[in-house]
Amino acid sequence: MTTWLITSVSSGFGRRMTEQPLAAGDRVVGTVRAPDAVAELEAAYGELFCTARLDVTGSPPCTRS
């Protein structure tokens, strides 16, 4: 069994990249802004699917020193 780390798993490309390894029986750790957006994946795959909340939209801009 392989463990995948995939960013932005709630929609689009990240969502499709998440569904394929889960369907094959692999584990996925995925980042999301809103964990409730992937509730059905959590219900369907249980311990094979784990999320970490990651929202960088409010981060302060990078500055040069």
Q: Is residue 33, in this structure, part of any structural domain at all?
A: yes
Q: Is residue 17, in this structure, part of any structural domain at all?
A: yes
Q: What is the pLDDT of residues 10-65, one digit of tens each?
A: 999 999 999 999 999 999 999 998 889 999 999 999 999 999 988 777 656 555 54
Q: Is residue 55, in this structure, part of any structural domain at all?
A: no
Cα–Cα distance for residue pair 61/18, rounded to 1 Å: 29
Q: Is residue 36, in this structure, part of any structural domain at all?
A: yes
Q: Is residue 63, in this structure, part of any structural domain at all?
A: no
31 close to 51: Cβ distance less than 8 angstroms:
yes
Cα–Cα distance for residue pair 33/54, rounded to 1 Å: 5
Say what the pLDDT of residue 64 is: 53
The total number of structural domains that make up the chain: 1
Say what the pLDDT of residue 61 is: 57
Q: Is residue 57, in this structure, part of any structural domain at all?
A: no
**Full domain range(s) for residue 32:** 3-50
